[in-house]
Amino acid sequence: MRPMRVMLQPVGESDWQLLAKLAIRLPQNLPFVECQVSPKAVSLPTSAITPRRQWLANVLLAHLVIPQGFDRIVGVTNVDLVVPPFNFVFGIAEFEGKRAVISTARLIDHNAELTELRALKEVLHELGHTLGLPHCPDPTCVAAFSNTLADTDRKGPKFCLKCYQRLLISWQQQCSEAQQKD
């Protein structure tokens, strides 16, 4: 099984130091992943801003282009995201797709390590969705739904055994299908 290549794509103004740390920590929590940070940020699409000064997450998601040689792209932005009718979202992903986006706007803490951990959890969570993983009922699994920051803080940066096995199987199947096409 080959590694899943993930590009972290800064969207708008970005914390480059945070992105670099996420690129290191992501493979530590998903060993079949290789991660890089795009050297260039993409701009925020002006069509995505709402009257409440939030950004439509689906528009940002559609704005992301998967670079050649990569399997997934995860946009990372510092603007507040929304998917109506929700008040906000920490992130969204194409279920069984290749694109995801997360926002650090509501994850920021005066403790930089906590901010980093929260962002890592959101990236892992959304990558799980791209591999077809639904929300997990185990509140400590990173695949659990987060409705509040307390939910995000309660869960760890790891998938429970059942979810991790599902992720591995999904990625193995995608690798096998790609090999059969070649």
Q: Tell me the catalytic residues.
A: 126
Strand stretches in 40-122, DSSP E: 55-56, 72-77, 81-82, 91-93, 99-103
The closest of 65, 66, 58, 68 to 93, measured between CA atoms, is: 58
Which amino acid, 173?
Q
Helix (H, G, I), strand (E, B) or coil at 100: strand
